[in-house]
Amino acid sequence: MHPPFDAAHDPTGWHGTTILCVRRGGEVAMAGDGQVTLGQTVVKGNARKVRRIGAGSKDRGGQGDVIAGFAGATADAFTLLERLESKLERFPGQLERACVELAKDWRTDRYLRRLEAMMAVADRDRSFTLTGTGDVLEPEDGLIAIGSGGNFALAAARALIEVPDLTAEEVARRAMRIAAEICVYTNHNVIVEMLRSES
């Protein structure tokens, strides 16, 4: 006998999205779909789940030097984004240090421990996945995917990255299109943020 459905604790309710980060040829593309679900109901189709943060994000019209994408409860994710931005202000240019400090707080702080979200973050040099269990994971292949459609997007991106003429943005957009065709919690309204190497 199954317990009654509880939307507040349904894992698909807070992983109902897809975020994909692709690093290739001096470019970083982070893509996120726009669908917001509550349980099994679509409540919004054009949410912005990928944002630029870090140095310059306020004084240069949002052109920060770090891209962050989130899967999870929106309010929780914004709380974590604000915390990460404050860590970046404390440790400018040190994304890994900022992520580790946030992960420590996230795991040990009684309030933050209850936040239900995952984050993918990247600067021009490195990419990381952050979780509430204290994980700060850097991929070997420059690809990160989180959320309900993350595995589909990751598999597609790994295949597409083998195509020599595709840019990071093209790989991200094509992989997100494939994920949206498979995952019911992911739509085709994709937003992509880019970072390019300064060299």
- CATH number reported for the structural domain that contains residue 64 in this entry: 3.60.20.10
| Between 114 and 25, residue with greater pLDDT | 25
Tokens 């509880």 found at: 6
Give the confidence band of 58 by pLDDT, cuts at 50, 70, 90. Answer: very low
Whole-angstrom Cα distance, residue 163 to residue 142? 15
pTM of the predicted protein model:
0.86
Asked if residue 84 belongs to a domain, the reply is yes
Asked if residue 196 belongs to a domain, the reply is no
Torsion angle (degrees, nearest 10) of CA 157, 136, 92, 79: 90
Q: Per-residue pLDDT for 91 more than 90? A: yes
Asked if residue 174 belongs to a domain, the reply is yes
Q: How many domains does the chain have?
A: 1
Asked if residue 173 belongs to a domain, the reply is yes
Q: Which two tokens stand for residue 157?
A: 């991106």
Asked if residue 7 belongs to a domain, the reply is no
Asked if residue 117 belongs to a domain, the reply is yes
Q: Per-residue pLDDT for 111 more than 90? A: no
What is the chain's mean pLDDT, rounded? 85
Give the confidence band of 63 by pLDDT, cuts at 50, 70, 90. Answer: low
The whole domain housing 104 covers 18-187
Rounded mean pLDDT of 41-70? 78
Asked if residue 2 belongs to a domain, the reply is no
Supply the residues annotated as catalytic. Answer: 17
Asked if residue 74 belongs to a domain, the reply is yes
